[in-house]
Amino acid sequence: MQVAAGAAALTTAPRGARADTYPSRPLHLVVGFPAGLAPDIVARLVGQGLSQRLRQPIAFADRPGAGTNIAAEAVVRAAPDGYTLLFISESNAINTSLYSQLDFNFVRDIAPIAIIGVAPFVMVTAPSLPVKGVAGFIAYAKANPGKVKFASPGTGSSTHIFGELFRMLTGIAWLDVPYRGSFFSDLLAGQVQVSFTTIADSLGYIKAGKLRPLAVTTATRAQLLPEVPAMADFVAGYAASGWYGIGAPQGTPAAIVAKLNDDINGVVADPTTKARLVALGVEPATMSPAAFGQFIAAETEKWAKVIRFANIKAE
């Protein structure tokens, strides 16, 4: 997959960086999602706090396309000096197996700096579906194989992959209906019956009684939906969530990575930032760079198994 053209503009910064004088000029934070979507909002929220702590401006570069791969390759090709950072998510871990011809290896070529938080998803059904909980849904789907329509915003999306993990662990059969964009109007109308959505996207519909939440996808209950059970209570081994973090080109000096980790952790721990993240459906978290790297590697391996099981190919 050739996306190097998008990276060219970020490769001109001089190589080499001294950790004792870092940062001495503005930084760039590259985001692989369109402006205005939740990931972009999270990136700007944390980036603004980081800018204040570093006392340097941070320019935000939205590089959507190719499932976030354009943004990732732009940073892979940038100078490893701490001045070009990548806003990363579970999509990057998924893409490692989903795309067979990438010109980079995310786990090898991006240095993990810090996690920002975890974004639980929620399994929702149209109220017209005659089920009240996860156990009832599984029983209904098994009694009606292929009848339930599962909606996602596209093949290989987090929603699609999280649904395939559910299918893999439960042995049900449903009809996969990928959309190019939002599926909520059809889900609300009952034309498709089930999906796995971010809590932030579906919370208003849930509170209005227009969608029925069956379970959150994390191992424990979520702060925004404390009354909704965790999927692990019904499906052994099920755990899935979105997550956000920041990385840099591999080879970025360890001292700079450590400084950025400390400052990002400080931003995430700020009470005002924490409250805003929670309101966006993100449960704040902190990790060391090494722990975050282990987390990313585990996520990459986990989703590779699901992709192989479902024989998913990038569109």
pLDDT at 36: 86
pLDDT of residue 219: 87
pLDDT digits (tens, 9 = 90+) for 81-112: 999 999 999 999 999 999 988 999 999 999 99
Q: What superfamily would CATH give domain 120-233?
A: Periplasmic binding protein-like II (3.40.190.10)
For residue 243, pLDDT beyond 80: yes
Q: What is the mean pLDDT of residues 155-168?
A: 96
pLDDT value at residue 2: 40
In 3D space, the residue among 243, 285, 255 whose CA is nearest the CA of residue 19 turns out to be 255
Among residues of the chain, what percentage have pLDDT more than 90?
86
Residue 292 tokens, joined: 């975050």
- Tokens for 107? 């786990």
Amino acid 17: pLDDT: 52
Q: Is the pLDDT of residue 216 over 50?
A: yes
What average pLDDT is seen over the chain?
92
Domain ranges in the chain with CATH number 3.40.190.150: 4-119+241-310
Q: Which CATH superfamily is domain 4-119+241-310 in?
A: Bordetella uptake gene, domain 1 (3.40.190.150)
* Chain segment 255-277, per-residue pLDDT in tens: 999 999 999 999 999 999 999 99
Q: Which pTM does this prediction carry?
A: 0.90
DSSP reduced 3-state for 281: coil
What's the rounded mean pLDDT across residues 18-33?
91
DSSP labels for 108-161?
HHEEEEEEEEEEEEEEEE-TTSS--SHHHHHHHHHHSTTTSEEEESSTTSHHHH
pLDDT value, residue 65: 87
* Residue in the structure block whose two tokens are 């053209």: 5
Q: At what angle do helices 158-170 and 289-310 cross, to 10 degrees?
A: 70
Q: Is the pLDDT of residue 6 over 60?
A: no
Q: Could you give the C-alpha distances from 273 to 2, 32, 44, 258, in angstroms and in order? A: 37, 22, 11, 21
Report residue 78 as tokens: 């940038």
pLDDT mean over 55-77: 94
CB within 8 Å of 146: residues ≥ 6 apart: 173, 174, 175
Q: Picking from 25-29, 35-39, 69-73, which range would have the lowest pLDDT averaged per residue?
A: 35-39
Residue 20 half-sphere exposure toward CB, CA atoms < 13 A: 0
User: What confidence category does residue 245 fall into, taking pLDDT thresholds of 50, 70 and 90?
Assistant: very high
Greater pLDDT, 20 or 85: 85
Name the percent of the chain lying above pLDDT 70. Answer: 94
Give start-end residues of each CATH 3.40.190.10 domain in the chain. 120-233
Question: Residue 9 has which token pair?
Answer: 């503009």
